[in-house]
Structure 1
Amino acid sequence: MDKEERKIINQGQEDEMEIYGYHLSRWKLAIVSLGVICTGGFLLLLLYWMPEWRVKATCVRAAIKDCEVVLLRTTDEFKIWFCAKIRFLSLETHPFSSPKSVSDKLSNGRAVCLIENPTEENRHEISKCSQTESQQIRYFTHHSIKYFWNDNIHNFDFLKKLLYGINEIAVKVPSVFKLLIKEVLNPFYIFQLFSVILWSTDEYYYYALAIVVMSIVSIVSSLYSIRKQYVMLHDMVATHSTVRVSVCRVNEEIEEIFSTDLVPGDVMVIPLNGIIMPCDAVLINGTCIVNESMLTGESVPVTKTNLPNPSVDVKGKGDELYNPETHKRHTLFCGTTVIQTRFYTGELVKAIVVRTGFNTSKGQLVRSILYPKPTDFKLYRDAYLFLLCLVAVAGIGFIYTIVNSILNEVEVGIIIIESLDIITITVPPALPAAMTAGIVYAQRRLKKIGIFCISPQRINICGQLNLVCFDKTGTLTEDGLDLWGIQRVENTRFLLPEENVCNEMLVKSQFVACMATCHSLTKIEGVLSGDPLDLKMFEAIGWILEEATEEETALHNRIMPTVVRPPKQLLPESTPAGNQEMELFELPAIYEIGIVRQFPFSSALQRMSVVARVLGDKKMDAYMKGAPEVIASLCKPETVPVDFQKVLEDFTKQGFRVIALAHRKLESKLTWHKVQNISRDAIENNMDFMGLIIMQNKLKQETPAVLEDLHKANIRTVMVTGDNMLTAVSVARDCGMILPQDKVIIAEALPPKDGKVAKINWHYADSLTQCRHSSAIDSEDIPVKLVHDSLEDLQMTRYHFAMNGKSFSVILEHFQDLVPKLMLHGTVFARMAPDQKTQLIEALQNVDYFVGMCGDGANDCGALKRAHGGISLSELEASVASPFTSKTPSISCVPNLIREGRAALITSFCVFKFMALYSIIQYFSVTLLYSILSNLGDFQFLFIDLAIILVVVFTMSLNPAWKELVPQRPPSGLISGALLFSVLSQIIISIGFQSLGFFWVKQQPWYEVWHPESDACNTTRSLLWNSSHVDNETELDEHNIQNYENTTVFFISSFQYLIVAIAFSKGKPFRQPCYKNYFFVFSVIFLYTFILFIMLYPVAYVDQVLEIVCVPYQWRITMLIIVLVNAFVSVTVENFFLDMVLWKVVFNRDKQGEYRFSTAQPPQESVDRWGKCCLSWVLGCRKKMPKAKYMYLAQELLVDPEWPPKPQTTTEAKALVKENGSCQIITIT
């Protein structure tokens, strides 16, 4: 395809796609129609499954701006194709009479033309709309989002910028008929339909009927499940569709409309009693208390303040443009619940609608559920590859059957039927359902222990996790912080630490006033609620918070701010006076502080501030709290103690969480109304440093034990937190993430400045910090796998990198070549913003780690979604913040999830191997019988497929997970030495013993072509059976089912299915032993007993139904011996040779978290005795480069004398070097 004819839409976003234009071609369409008729509709099905083939077969390439059909392809690793038809929308009237208009209404209540960022290009577009009386808009719809053709950029863009439509997240529940057609057109059911028609043609009615019944049950079950999900999703999103809302019009009138009529630009009035937001809107007036648990899983209410007015700094540069992510503290997101509102001077709480419908935050989440991104997992790719191999095997059998039948002069009709029958036998129809059984059972077990899953396919992927990132506060440590003490500053010097803040000496100090006002606490139904840190801080001073009621605000018709006051017992007692002077005397004793303006805490800024006024003061005060380094940088340098850094390090090294406070008096000319419009930057500068608050954040009781289990299982652990770096390092040592003797290398990266290149300063933290918690772990008990051992048995001490968010961003931008090395040893990432956490997850995945993330769901949403297995600690049963949600607020859910993931993964492997062997065993049975123009009987097929296969598949998947994590990790794909050896060895064994029985029976002295009256039994039972089975000699078996070969093959193959089921039912180390799976044990014993009974003691009715012939008792014993030897060989090869030799060798080479050289290599020597050139390759023991990037990198770093960097050294980035049109940054030390 020409590059000129390809466009990119949603560039740089997760749903980025390539787009190609096509015109419908009549002559191509005619040829395709003819092909559909000639193929009986099969070509139409093929084109239905392959949209790119459909477009290319019926259309010709065209310019995108003039095309009739567009072909879309995602730019990710999946390269999924979609097609969409271009549609036209006519606008007869245009609402924009001037560029100042934001939105207006058409007659149908919809709005057009909102330009989010008014540029000259957009104004030109608006003027084009207003100058033309009628215009056609070309657009297409993809995944519920409309895209229109933009002449300015010569590409398709979001239609939301021109025409919004109804504010509706429409999740239509498809009709049962529509779902049925879509389900039936699945390739799996089309293959089933083909098989049923084929079997019916061959008069296999019973088996065909059984398959029809199974398919109907499967389709009905699938339809019920899919429709139930649609109904649940529809009910979840339909709550805001019929809400009545109030909007402000141009003439200041308030109009009530339905929420479906809201469009971007509407000014919405937030009611006092709250509302479930029907759109995304930015607050422009007032304050709201919002519950965002639906989005984040965080149950603590969040305070939303109005968006600051645009301002221009001294350089003439204005504020940044509004962005929902950057300004999320001012944005009310769709689906969240507004609990309370606060308004000023009689003004209403107003918000401007910025996004509607599927463009809202809730709409995007619904789209992610409706159109989930495919799961990229090697198991599924290998499964499809293995199916192709089975198809190839079926092709061989297909050709063999045709040739053999022609040589035996079989009729053409029978040749066609039997040849096609081979294909239906080789590709097992129950494979898709069997593969998902283990996941379904694992999901049920997870639900029982309080872990809920909204993406079941990720359970298997969790079995591969070899690195887990943890948030600190609320995840590794307790949610609540305890106030350890304060350390105030007077005359630029630190005073001694003080434990008691609630005393008369400090009650009127600016320090306590800052603690009392600088927070986002509010009262909900009379209970103080807000951030746990703010709650602890406010409770420590013992003050009282009062908020104005709705009646008080209406009565005074003026601003009624939140007021805080100390308890009466802390205030000095007043001296009694006369009644007339009492009021004048007591007035000064009243000490209250009103919170006039609040700038909420921002993760990006790492601070918050308020503007407050003490009752009776003429000037207002600004208070600020936040990260000590940030607060100190915004204070006057002369107010910051010279030993600030040393004092801060002393506290953080001990694991305390430190918060700095600052204050300044505002100018008297700054009025109340001006404060409401002042920018944050105008307040948060030139402050006076007041001191530190020291908070103690204790480890959760179970944290050290869980991390120890993960380390013993060779699973790396990483801390990602917004806290101070030294505090994070201390907590990492306390919980065992970093051992006492390990070195911690702090990477301090500085961006380019004043013409100087970016650089990294390396310095080592104290390696033997005393652990504070008694729960600290003995270093000898935990084998740390973060760094990979060398031949010299670790010439240097294990080391870990630690860095803050700013350094991480600089390294990502200017030191790309160092990023993989730092990811290999990075353990502590502090002061990380939410987007930086997501970038860290991506960087770890780029070096082939399977990454898990465990957080509280508040600031970790992006990272939780990006990780292979994201676990949100939330009280909600299901949260859209992450694939997994644990109701237990403990990291103990992490090893439980990994254990269940490993069990589900091993179950998938076991089931897949069993289904493959079932397919091959039955395929070979039929092939052997075809050689004598025979086949398995209808009821024999039925007994095998229903009584044996389905029962075994769904019971062998019930094994629960092993009780503890082990260092081994199951393979991620089917194409591995161990699994291939397992499958191939069992295939050879099964084929060998089946062939032995087939050919040996022909060598028996009693063997001859079977006839009802001349069988080999010569018993009364046989004669009675023969006379009842056949009335006369003319009713012979026209399909030649009843013969000695058929009976022998049937019995041996029936036992073989059970033998391989037992051999493949793996237990330890990933699942409980199969003998604890009571349903499986009972099923296997029952089936073994039944088959053995009818083989040794024939029952006339059973033999008649299964079309089994009578054979001498001696041959029955011989078949039993063959089966016993087969069982012994199969179990020995699978569970002894494979597990004790091959499996251990593979795991010894592929331990997760470490990759070491082995000079002795004892497994290699023991295996090579059987042939170096043969088994050495199968066992995967040959020296080869590791597949995972992090393993290869670890190998390189072992022999790199320059790594890790030496202490007190600097690494500088070279200038950008262009190479073949691309830029690369090279670092020098």
Structure 2
Amino acid sequence: MEAPASSCHARSPQEVLQALETTPAGLDEIEVERRRLQFGANRIPEGRKRSLVLRFLAHFHNILIYVLLASASITALLGHWIDTGVILAVVIANAVIGFVQEGRAENALAAIRGILAPRTVVVRDDVRRTIDATELVPGDIVLLEAGDRVPADARLIEGRALRIDEAVLTGESIPVDKDASPVLIGATLAERRSMAFSGTLVVAGTAKAVVVTTGARTEIGQISGMLASVETLKTPLVQQMDVFSRWLTVFILSVAAGLLAFGVFVRQMPFADIFMIVVGLSVAAIPEGLPAVLTITLAVGVQAMAKRNAIVRRLPAIETLGSVSVICTDKTGTLTRNEMVVATLAASGGEFLVQGVGYEPEGAVLHEGVLTDAAQSPVLDEFSLCAKLCNDAALVRKGDAWCVEGDPMEGALLALSGKLPTNQPSVARTFTRTDAIPFDAAWRYMAVLSHDHANHAFIHAKGAPEAILAMCADQYTAAGETAPLEEVLWQEMMENMAAKGQRVIALATRRVDPAQTTLAVEDLDRKLTLIGLVGFIDPPRSEAVQAVAECHRAGIMVKMITGDHGTTARAIGGMIGLRNSRDVLTGADLATMSDADLAETAMHVDVFARTSPADKLRLVSALQSRGLVVAMTGDGVNDAPALKRADAGTAMGIKGSEAAKEASELVLADDNFASIAAAVREGRTVYDNIKKVISWTLPTNAGEALTVIAALLAGMTLPVSPVQILWINLVTATTLGIALAFEPTENGSMLRPPRPRNAPLLDGELLWHIILVSILFVSFVFGMFAYARAVGHPVELAQTMAVNLLVVLEIFHLFFIRNIHGTSLNWKAVRGTPAVWMAVAAVTIAQLAMTYLPPLQRVFGTTSVPLFEGVLIVLAGTAFFALLETEKQMRLTFRGRLNVGSTLSPAGLSTDR
């Protein structure tokens, strides 16, 4: 027995039953047991999980963590237990955060498993019974009805008025009509009308189907396997910190080893003395406070993004958003409202535009741009009556929102009926449905017979335009009279509406004898009067249009990836302002492309339609291969693999599936694409602040270390003792650095192009800044120490003045680094932020205590600094700040001159005019 999973949609029901060795009466229990042993339970298997201990310990496997642990060991040997405790707290906190955030892939698989139906109705031995869905096997006969969750991938044998919501799998915005007729072998997933897929929802009708595949072999199970195999990329910041940490470790250890050899063999110093100096140097050079400050900076970003309705599930994702260069977004529910609305009515007198939001039954109806009513266009009465009576849905008001119970398109028709300005007497009658022909995919229409209390009877029908037109003998005119049917005219109007991305149905009616109480097909054939066409659309969010424009201004490309039709996708792409909405690639097109061709084509095509989960994943990977940082937004299970692969996977919080949320780094609480533009802005702010933290930390650490190295090489007394360097690290490394985490967004942050994925953390500009600040640190500290010794101050006072100058230089450096893209000499810069002044105040108080309190003087070898020397220290800090600001203005001026005659492309690349 072989299950023809790949082709059963193209085979007849009898062929599928024969291939599965089953019958409409179902399997017997012996055969069921045999197949259960062969195929296993109908569930998605869980992978092996690491123990909690191993998962926790894995977070210590990082070169920077090793450096920090070594630093803690060294400070413990020195007896500086407070510094040891701070370093260990940083290491443990980072491990705990990573441990808590880990396991997203496993949770995503669990969320997909939760979608599978818990119970299902089967036929076995020609007996109907209800069983656990996990007990299904290929060849089982299942019975489906409205409200059921499809328990496995199944081939339809029979279907009556069957409609299935497949949005969770294909992204299709409205329920799909299903029947047992075979389709083409090459049909895409969304076009396989003869199949019912596991995890999808039956919204109308009934069906009998034979199970083709179960568990991991179903379409949704294959997404689960794809999700488990997707590699989660490291964020640009994490990658850069990994590389930087390795090189920093090698550099520090090399310098320490060289100085140790120099002291022992060249200076002939006692090993214990030189070893303690080298240890102090190492601790000074290692930015042990950097991970803590980076974590706090990201945490501050989490709070800022939460206010923008973006919930962050993994801290580094915030920084990643700041470097996003392309956003791949799902259409349904992300760029659009995921609500069907009537956009156009086409009658023989022309088109009517229908306004309004969602399912709210309020909105204007315009004809040639002018408000209209039934007195001017009597045909609107007919539209209203047919939309209301030939309908099985209901509109319900929940709070301030209107919701539909039933088919979304029928809900949109009810909303239309409420919007149409009709003649009150004609709609005030109370109608009762007497009989109906329910919708069925075989005949593609629905018809009802209704009576009112005024002894009138009407037939109303709606359905596919081709089916309704074939049953019409005439049409309504603009004046409400009848005229011969003009099929060519209606065909043109259908094509025009379809070109706008609208789904089109036709409405028709007929007055019958009030004595008639039954409805048959014979009552319809060539006897109806065509009312007109109704065009539906899932409208774009108005704020999404603005968000797309803002992304374009920021140099960010926007790609729309959807499972919907190409025509619909093209229309929506044009509405939301995509740069290239003309060219549309489908999943079938992608299948013929190599990875290299796809990567090239994806750079200039913005609309991708009829895509499968594998297509979405492949597109994200193709864009990443071009060095782009990719954000992916989506809400369905079908989006989960691509969300996990993306650099910044972003799920919808309200309508998004749990699988999509668990596979993502961010969740939009309001399901609004506009929120991702706001999140990108916050991400850029966070990256700027991280850059400021790094630009402040590395030069100050390098300056401290270079001061020790210069003194050792020159054979001089250390201007700052090792224990004083530890004090500086303890007091300033996190306190002043943390203040930079609260810096507000700088002007023009969304007008700068995104930075490249491979942009180095330690670029030429930062390297020059480190060198400049280090030289200035050494010069000022040695100058202050030499001055103190020259005027006769003892070594203790000279070192105290030097260590206070180091702290003052770091404070002035903080004010300088707060404005890396503009001048620091303005009122806004001087005013600072509460966090900056709190940090400066805390450091100042601590430094005064270390300098003037006797207990701390004994611990750190300091002595009181006279007033004149104190003023001199502050003046030296001012001179240091002035030198840095002068250099920055010269550099910015020179850069501006270089940029004259060049411009920036959307990708951020400089191009000559």
Which TM-score applies when normalising by structure 2? 0.69
How do 1:968-1047 and structure 2 match up within 5 A?
Answer: 968-969=752-753, 971-972=755-756, 975=759, 979-998=763-782, 1001-1002=785-786, 1016=793, 1043=796, 1046-1047=799-800
| Corresponding residue number in structure 2 for 1:593 | 436
Is the counterpart of residue 952 in structure 1 residue 828 in structure 2? Answer: no
Shift in Å, 1:964: 6.8
Equivalent residue letter for 1:802: R
| Corresponding residue number in structure 1 for 2:686 | 904
Alignment deviations for residues 778-831 of structure 1 (CA, whole Å, 9 cap, x no partner):
xxxxxxxx7xxxxxxxxxxxxx6723457994998599989958954x67x597
Equivalent residue letter for 1:895: A
CA contact (8 A) 1:917 1:986 kept: yes
Q: 1:424 to 1:731 in 2, by over 3 A?
A: closer
Is the counterpart of residue 393 in structure 1 residue 393 in structure 2? Answer: no
| Corresponding residue number in structure 2 for 1:402 | 261
Equivalent residue letter for 2:71: S
**SS class of match (1:967):** coil
Equivalent residue letter for 1:374: T
CA contact (8 A) 1:281 1:353 kept: yes
Identity within the alignment, %: 15
1083, 1100, 1110: which one aligns with 2:839 = 1083
Shift in Å, 1:391: 3.1
| Corresponding residue number in structure 1 for 2:513 | none
Equivalent-residue separation in structure 2 for 1:211 and 1:951 (angstroms): 14
Is the counterpart of residue 917 in structure 1 residue 775 in structure 2? Answer: no
**SS class of match (2:852):** coil
CA contact (8 A) 2:284 2:704 kept: yes
Q: 1:951 to 1:880 in 2, by over 3 A?
A: farther
Is the counterpart of residue 308 in structure 1 residue 64 in structure 2? Answer: no
Alignment deviations for residues 948-968 of structure 1 (CA, whole Å, 9 cap, x no partner):
112233331122435776422
Equivalent residue letter for 1:399: G
Equivalent-residue separation in structure 2 for 1:1049 and 1:357 (angstroms): 68
CA contact (8 A) 1:189 1:215 kept: yes
Higher helix share: 2
Q: 1:323 to 1:966 in 2, by over 3 A?
A: closer
Q: 1:1154 to 1:954 in 2, by over 3 A?
A: closer
Q: 1:99 to 1:272 in 2, by over 3 A?
A: closer
| Corresponding residue number in structure 2 for 1:195 | 71
- How many residues align? The count is 818
| Corresponding residue number in structure 2 for 1:693 | 534
CA contact (8 A) 1:279 1:357 kept: no
Shift in Å, 1:209: 3.8
Equivalent-residue separation in structure 2 for 1:415 and 1:265 (angstroms): 80
312, 318, 341: which one aligns with 1:481 = 341
Equivalent-residue separation in structure 2 for 1:611 and 1:947 (angstroms): 77
Q: 1:406 to 1:611 in 2, by over 3 A?
A: same
Shift in Å, 1:1125: 1.6
**SS class of match (2:43):** coil
How do 1:490-505 and structure 2 match up within 5 A?
Answer: none
Alignment deviations for residues 289-348 of structure 1 (CA, whole Å, 9 cap, x no partner):
8788877999x8x647666255xxxxxxx85389866549944544x7x5867547xxxx
851, 854, 859: which one aligns with 1:1100 = 854
**SS class of match (1:693):** strand
Shift in Å, 1:725: 6.1
Equivalent residue letter for 1:916: L
**SS class of match (2:654):** coil
Is the counterpart of residue 1057 in structure 1 residue 810 in structure 2? Answer: yes
Equivalent-residue separation in structure 2 for 1:832 and 1:166 (angstroms): 28
How do 1:147-296 and structure 2 match up within 5 A?
Answer: 164=40, 167=43, 170=46, 176-220=52-96, 222-223=98-99, 226=102, 245-246=119-120, 248=122, 250-253=124-127, 274=148
316, 320, 345: which one aligns with 2:185 = 320
| Corresponding residue number in structure 2 for 1:535 | 411
Alignment deviations for residues 273-292 of structure 1 (CA, whole Å, 9 cap, x no partner):
756x7766666666888788
Shift in Å, 1:541: 6.0
Q: 1:839 to 1:188 in 2, by over 3 A?
A: closer
Equivalent residue letter for 2:837: V
Q: 1:271 to 1:507 in 2, by over 3 A?
A: same
Alignment deviations for residues 180-238 of structure 1 (CA, whole Å, 9 cap, x no partner):
433344544443333333333344444324433443454455545558x7997798578
| Corresponding residue number in structure 2 for 1:875 | 654
Equivalent-residue separation in structure 1 for 2:899 and 2:697 (angstroms): 24
Which TM-score applies when normalising by structure 1? 0.53
CA contact (8 A) 1:662 1:691 kept: yes
220, 228, 233: which one aligns with 1:375 = 233
Is the counterpart of residue 429 in structure 1 residue 211 in structure 2? Answer: no
Equivalent residue letter for 1:375: L
Equivalent-residue separation in structure 2 for 1:656 and 1:247 (angstroms): 38
Equivalent-residue separation in structure 1 for 2:588 and 2:45 (angstroms): 38
Alignment deviations for residues 975-1007 of structure 1 (CA, whole Å, 9 cap, x no partner):
569952244234323333324432663465557
CA contact (8 A) 2:507 2:534 kept: no
Equivalent-residue separation in structure 2 for 1:871 and 1:1130 (angstroms): 41
Alignment deviations for residues 249-268 of structure 1 (CA, whole Å, 9 cap, x no partner):
75245666655555555555
CA contact (8 A) 2:565 2:609 kept: yes
**SS class of match (2:682):** helix
Shift in Å, 1:1084: 2.1
Equivalent-residue separation in structure 2 for 1:278 and 1:935 (angstroms): 76
| Corresponding residue number in structure 2 for 1:624 | 464
Equivalent-residue separation in structure 2 for 1:644 and 1:273 (angstroms): 36
443, 448, 472: which one aligns with 2:302 = 443
**SS class of match (1:1066):** coil
Alignment deviations for residues 997-1028 of structure 1 (CA, whole Å, 9 cap, x no partner):
326634655578xxxxxxx36xxxxxxxxxxx
**SS class of match (1:597):** coil
CA contact (8 A) 2:812 2:881 kept: yes
Q: 1:590 to 1:719 in 2, by over 3 A?
A: closer
| Corresponding residue number in structure 1 for 2:878 | 1124
Q: 1:1000 to 1:249 in 2, by over 3 A?
A: same
**SS class of match (2:440):** strand
Equivalent-residue separation in structure 1 for 2:803 and 2:54 (angstroms): 43
**SS class of match (2:742):** coil
Shift in Å, 1:889: 5.7
CA contact (8 A) 2:655 2:671 kept: no
Equivalent-residue separation in structure 2 for 1:822 and 1:232 (angstroms): 31
**SS class of match (1:802):** coil
**SS class of match (1:374):** coil
Shift in Å, 1:900: 0.9
CA contact (8 A) 2:395 2:411 kept: no
CA contact (8 A) 1:648 1:658 kept: no
Alignment deviations for residues 515-563 of structure 1 (CA, whole Å, 9 cap, x no partner):
78999958999985356544223554689xxxxxxxxxxxxxxxxxxxx
CA contact (8 A) 1:379 1:973 kept: no
Shift in Å, 1:899: 1.0
**SS class of match (2:819):** coil
Q: Larger relative contact order (C-alpha < 8 A, sep ≥ 6)? A: 2
Alignment deviations for residues 827-885 of structure 1 (CA, whole Å, 9 cap, x no partner):
7x597667788887777667666566667869987887776656566635886547444
CA contact (8 A) 1:522 1:530 kept: yes
